[in-house]
């Protein structure tokens, strides 16, 4: 079927990734250092062009694997080892957002357990996990001891902020916080995820009762561990439940 290609404008379409993990009690995002203009030397979110016959989710999964080695798994699928939660976040299409040309970027949000080390992708640019506070907050970004020293390239600060906000609100009413944990984890480890993502302290006793009392949230594996020190803790896997009812309550700020 013929169609006049001059009847509509042409766009480039990219996917950008907000990849979040919890490291050393802080919520961190994956950042790559740009080599080429525009914004050479600045940190940015990983991402790339969508291919001609590629679905948006497939493009996001491909970029995720290129940058981290993680495979994506669809929501409510058994958590495989080396797999991350991946979902569409939002789309950014300001005509001026890329100085080269008109680019519409479909941002995705990925949540991953703490990984041994970020691995350089097919292109060997530098990659690192940076605390989101350093990436977003101007004051800390310009502190001399901060490892990032300028705002993110393009509109990536906005995209990252939206991704963080999505993660913060979603762990409230879904079991998504388990995506930050390894396959087997303790209640205390899960609690530290909530504390890092929300930036608050939670009562360990009430948290324990809450998560173990929500049917389908956690499944005991039978094993125990003392990797956190102290009394051995039961190990759990994520259960089948995806929505939490009643939700976890985020304390007032």
Partner DNA sequence: CCAAAAGTGTTGAACATACACCCATGT
Partner DNA sequence: ACATGGGTGTATGTTCAACACTTTTGG
Residue whose token pair is 């939490």: 244
By residue count, the chain amounts to 253
3 makes contact, choosing from DNA, its own copies, none, with CB < 5 to 8 Å by partner type, with its own copies
Q: Contact between 122 and its own copies (CB under 8 A)?
A: no
Nearer to its own copies, 4 or 145 (CB): 4
Instruction: Answer yes or no: are the C-beta atoms of 118 and 128 closer than 8 Å.
Output: yes
- DSSP label of 243: B
Residues 6+ apart with CB under 8 A from 118: 30, 67, 68, 127, 128, 129
122 makes contact, choosing from its own copies, DNA, none, with CB < 5 to 8 Å by partner type, with none
Instruction: Answer yes or no: are the C-beta atoms of 27 and 132 closer than 8 Å.
Output: yes
Nearer to its own copies, 46 or 131 (CB): 46
Give, as ranges, the residues between 194 and 233 that touch DNA (CB under 7 A): 203-206, 208-210, 212, 224, 226, 228-233
Residue whose token pair is 């790339």: 48
99 makes contact, choosing from its own copies, DNA, none, with CB < 5 to 8 Å by partner type, with its own copies
175 makes contact, choosing from DNA, its own copies, none, with CB < 5 to 8 Å by partner type, with none
Nearest C-alpha neighbor of 129 from the set 81, 188, 196, 208? 196
- Please report how close the Cβ of residue 101 comes to its own copies at its closest, in angstroms: 6
Q: Contact between 1 and its own copies (CB under 8 A)?
A: yes
Give, as ranges, the residues between 81 and 110 that touch DNA (CB under 7 A): none
Q: Residue from 25, 69, 78, 94 that binds its own copies (CB under 8 A)?
A: 94
CA 175 to CA 247: how far, in whole Å? 9
Going across the sheet that includes 26-33, the strands are 43-44, 26-33, 127-131
Taking residue 170's Cβ as centre, other Cβ atoms within 10 Å add up to 18
Token pair listed for 124: 């060997």
Nearer to its own copies, 54 or 65 (CB): 54
Taking residues 50 to 89 in sequence order and writing x for each that binds its own copies by CB under 8 A, - otherwise, the string is: xxxxxxx-------------------------------x-
CA 106 to CA 112: how far, in whole Å? 19
- Please report how close the Cβ of residue 207 comes to DNA at its closest, in angstroms: 8
Nearer to its own copies, 88 or 149 (CB): 88
The 10 Å CB-count burial string (b at 16+, else e) for 134-147 is bbbeeeebeeeebe
Binding-site size, its own copies (CB under 8 A): 32
Instruction: Answer yes or no: are the C-beta atoms of 237 and 211 closer than 8 Å.
Output: no
Contact positions vs its own copies (CB under 8 A): 1, 3, 5, 8-13, 37-38, 49-56, 88, 90-95, 99-102, 104, 106
Which residues of the chain form contacts with DNA (CB under 7 A)? 186-189, 191, 203-206, 208-210, 212, 224, 226, 228-234, 246, 249, 251
């Amino acid at each position: 079927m013929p169609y006049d290609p001059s009847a509509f404008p042409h766009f480039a379409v990219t996917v950008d990734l907000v990849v979040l993990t919890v490291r050393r009690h802080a919520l961190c995002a994956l950042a790559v250092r740009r080599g080429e203009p525009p914004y050479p030397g600045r940190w940015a979110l990983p991402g790339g062009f969508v291919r001609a016959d590629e679905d948006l989710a497939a493009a996001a999964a491909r970029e995720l694997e290129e940058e981290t080695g993680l495979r994506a798994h669809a929501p409510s699928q058994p958590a495989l080892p080396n797999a991350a939660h991946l979902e569409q976040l939002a789309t950014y299409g300001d005509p001026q957002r890329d100085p080269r040309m008109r680019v519409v970027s479909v941002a995705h949000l990925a949540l991953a357990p703490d990984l041994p080390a970020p691995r350089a992708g097919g292109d060997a640019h530098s990659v690192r996990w940076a605390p989101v506070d350093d990436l977003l907050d101007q004051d800390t970004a310009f502190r001399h001891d901060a490892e990032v020293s300028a705002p993110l390239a393009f509109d990536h600060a906005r995209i990252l902020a939206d991704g963080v906000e999505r993660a913060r609100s979603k762990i409230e009413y879904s079991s998504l916080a388990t995506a930050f944990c390894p396959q087997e984890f303790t209640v205390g480890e899960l609690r530290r995820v909530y504390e890092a993502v929300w930036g608050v302290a939670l009562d360990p006793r009430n948290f324990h009762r809450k998560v173990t009392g929500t049917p389908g949230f956690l499944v005991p594996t039978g094993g125990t561990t003392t990797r956190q020190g102290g009394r051995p803790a039961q190990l759990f896997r994520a259960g089948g439940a995806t929505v939490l009812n009643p939700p976890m309550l985020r304390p007032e700020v």
